[in-house]
Amino acid sequence: MLQVLIEVHGLTSLKDKRRIVKSLKDKLISKYKLSVAEIDYHDSLRFIQIGAALVSNSKVHGEAVLTKIFRYIEDNVPGRLIDSSMMSEKY
């Protein structure tokens, strides 16, 4: 699982924010085949919090994909990444 908190500036409406969130979610789902959701700060014009989950039969592979996703978000989201966490579990 991956969680990121992004601070964005210059948004004037929730519609603008939702466009950014939807675009990011769609790109991540399309490119990496994982589950993605906006998990907090739904009504904030300043913050976006995204959670992503991936299921894999290899912990190493899963963590490598999540690291790629983290870098993709860092490079492609208009804003500043202010917090992130990655967690993996084996069942």
DSSP readout, 26-79?
Answer: HHHHHHH--EEEEEE-TT-SSEEEEEEE---S-HHHHHHHHHHHHHHHHHHSSS
46 within some domain: yes
Task: Give the structural domain span for 78.
Answer: 2-86
Please count the structural domains in the chain. 1
60 within some domain: yes
**Interval 7-33 mean pLDDT:** 94
Return the pLDDT at 91. Answer: 73
* 52 pLDDT higher than 80: yes
CATH number of the domain bearing residue 34: 3.30.70.1120
In angstroms, the CA 49 to CA 40 distance is 5
**Interval 3-26 mean pLDDT:** 94
91 within some domain: no
32 within some domain: yes
**Interval 52-57 mean pLDDT:** 92
Return the pLDDT at 21. Answer: 95
63 within some domain: yes
